Amino acid sequence: MKTLHASALLFGAFLVNQDVICAERLIDVPPAQPYRVWRSEPPKDCPFKQSETLVGIGFTGKNKSYTGADTWYPSWASDDNMYSPWTDGSVNGLHSSSGGKNATTGHATIIGNDPMNLVITNQGIYKSDPSPYAGRYPCGSLVYNGVWYYGTYCLHPSGSVPKDGINYNWPWLGPFVGFRWSTDFGKTWTQTPCTPDKPLFGESALNGEPVKIGAPHIVDFGRNMQHSPDGYAYLVSHGASSGPEGRRYAYNSWITGDEIYLVRVKPSIENMNDSTKYEFFAGHDENGKPIWSRDFKKSKPIAEWKDNMGCVTMTWNEPLKKYLMCVTDGGNTVHYFNTYILESDNITGPWRLVTYMKRFGEQAYFVNIPSKFIGKDGRTLWLCYAANFSSGWGGVKFKSNPPGSRYGMCLHEVKLLAPGDRLENDVLNSPKNVALTARVSASSVHRDYSLNAAVDGVVGGYPGNTQHEWASNGEGDSAMIRLTWDSPQKINRIWLFDRPNDLDQITSGMILFDDGTTIKTGALPDDAKKGLEISFEPKSVKWLLFIVNTVKPKSPNIGLAEIAVFSAD
């Protein structure tokens, strides 16, 4: 990108001859915050009331990502290791792909107690024919008393289905097939006796029919299922009970659905592939106690929200004595995804909303909370997910939001917030800072840095945490960064913070707006202990460009610790 300039190559041709009247002043860096609160934005038709005890989620900034594959659902075993499926990518040079007749699913061991320093090892793959479906993917995984139960489910008709101008990804959720098992932690496996055309629960979706229990996941009860209330393994699954007539395309896919279902079984090699051993949640009696039935047809959802309940996972939080359920609404299967977290004192509900994270990831999926990494207070934990698999499809390129989100196994430390925990005066992370919602591009990015770190709501960088700054790749007065919004933004202030190190400094610059008007800026304080505020009369923009004009001599990699753009509304 280094050869691109503010011309028709990247930004269009403009007659730049109008200066915007502005005022400059130096500002203090806002106080460092212990976490960044993700604003909860539930749609108006959200059926879940706000939780009274858990009212939001804050990101501490600690994160780490591993491998180049997705579908990670860690199960904490008695040997203190975690074991997880994975697929559609590579782990330590081994590749798995779950589409086609030769579909494979991967498995691996996760060693370590620190999410920032894990070892992924003992990777392997296993072939399972999806026929008559087109794909066969991992889902529910449990290691209990030395036996690893590994579930797979089917998808159809293809991983790429063009329809009505959208290139859908696996629009039809197929049936849950069954569990293969291993008694030596994945070294060898015994295949499930169930097959895609004769699956465990007898469901079928070759023509897009609704499926209730397509991709179930094992409720995480801690190490070796130690906190199961009754010795049962519980399976939670998203699905639908009506369709396809009168429904949108991909109404019930790997990432979209209407309802959440709950199933339980006493885990053993003899039971896991025997449908007669399973009990299905069938509603509540007149006293509010759950009803369990061995009749699949009597199954009822524990939660429902039409067209908003896709992939689901559940974890028991022992310190808080609460169930946490992560649900993803996958839209049209390839665009922005939304993730929300529900809580309940009981596994069958009722459920209340902790937070609704619009565009989390910006396309996060397979979101789960590994019980091994829940802190002693119950409120510090880690989200595990993959993100942004279809970036670039249909011309939509996703940001890494929160920073560190990518295709792989992503781990982010978060804090569950109580009513008194909400941060006040967190200016950089307030809704007024519209830079947080912008798409970011630049003339170059140093390979060890992230472009989106320039708009992560944190003023930081080398010699501190380099995850919180943008550094160009060897540029000085040729560097530039652009913010673009999907809709016009009415703005009246911009904050610029130089990189904190004493090597690089921007001594002058220019802001170019999409109407061709400009603002010339002075020097940015060299140590990022203060920033430069530029204020002006409100103006409506869809994009703006900051161009570096002059720099301190010998600045090796010019950049910004943060750029903030404030709404005038």
Beta strand pairing status for 559-567 and 470-471? antiparallel
What is the rounded distance in angstroms from the CA atom of residue 454 to the CA atom of residue 563?
6
Identify the pLDDT of residue 6. Answer: 40
**What is the number of H-type helices and E-type strands within the chain?**
0, 35
What is the rounded distance in angstroms from the CA atom of residue 193 to the CA atom of residue 180?
8
Q: What does the angle CA 508 – CA 513 – CA 517 come to, to the nearest 5 degrees?
A: 80
What is the rounded distance in angstroms from the CA atom of residue 334 to the CA atom of residue 394?
9
For residues 534 and 24, the answer to whether their CB atoms sit within 8 Å is: yes
End-to-end CA distance of the chain: 34
Hey, what are 144's tokens?
A: 């209990």
Residue ranges of the chain that CATH labels 2.115.10.20: 36-421
For residues 551 and 504, the answer to whether their CB atoms sit within 8 Å is: yes
For residues 394 and 359, the answer to whether their CB atoms sit within 8 Å is: no
Residues with Cβ within 8 Å of residue 411, at least 6 apart in sequence: 63, 64, 65, 66, 115, 116, 118, 373, 382, 383, 384
Hey, what are 447's tokens?
A: 């390979």
Identify the pLDDT of residue 162. Answer: 97
CATH of 36-421, one of 1.10.10.10, 3.30.1160.10, 2.115.10.20, 2.40.50.140: 2.115.10.20
What letter represents residue 113's amino acid?
Answer: N
What is the rounded distance in angstroms from the CA atom of residue 515 to the CA atom of residue 510?
14
Partners of 490 in the β-ladder: 540
For residues 263 and 213, the answer to whether their CB atoms sit within 8 Å is: yes
- Three-state secondary-structure class, residue 460: coil
What letter represents residue 88's amino acid?
Answer: D
Class of domain 18-33+425-567: mainly beta
Hey, what are 85's tokens?
A: 């499926």
Identify the pLDDT of residue 208. Answer: 97
- Say how many C-beta atoms besides its own lie within 10 A of residue 405's C-beta: 24
Residue with tokens 């269009």: 12
Identify the pLDDT of residue 351. Answer: 98
Provide the residue count of the chain.
Answer: 569
Strands (E), 391-522: 409-417, 439-442, 470-471, 480-498, 506-513, 517-521
What is the rounded distance in angstroms from the CA atom of residue 501 to the CA atom of residue 165?
48
- Please choose, from the candidates 265, 560, 298, the residue with its C-alpha nearest in 3D space to the C-alpha of residue 442: 560
pLDDT string in tens for the chain (569-residue length)? 333 344 333 444 444 446 889 999 999 999 888 888 999 999 999 999 999 999 999 999 899 999 999 999 999 999 999 999 999 999 999 999 999 999 999 999 999 999 999 999 999 999 999 999 999 999 999 999 999 999 999 999 999 999 999 999 999 999 999 999 999 999 999 999 999 999 999 999 999 999 999 999 999 999 999 999 999 999 999 999 999 999 999 999 999 999 999 999 999 999 999 999 999 999 999 999 999 999 999 999 999 999 999 999 999 999 999 999 999 999 999 999 999 999 999 999 999 999 999 999 999 999 999 999 999 999 999 999 999 999 999 888 898 999 899 999 999 999 999 998 876 678 998 889 999 999 999 999 999 898 889 999 999 999 998 989 999 999 999 899 999 999 999 999 999 999 999 999 999 999 999 999 999 999 999 989 999 999 999 999 999 999 999 999 999 999 999 999 999 98
Residue ranges of the chain that CATH labels 2.60.120.260: 18-33+425-567
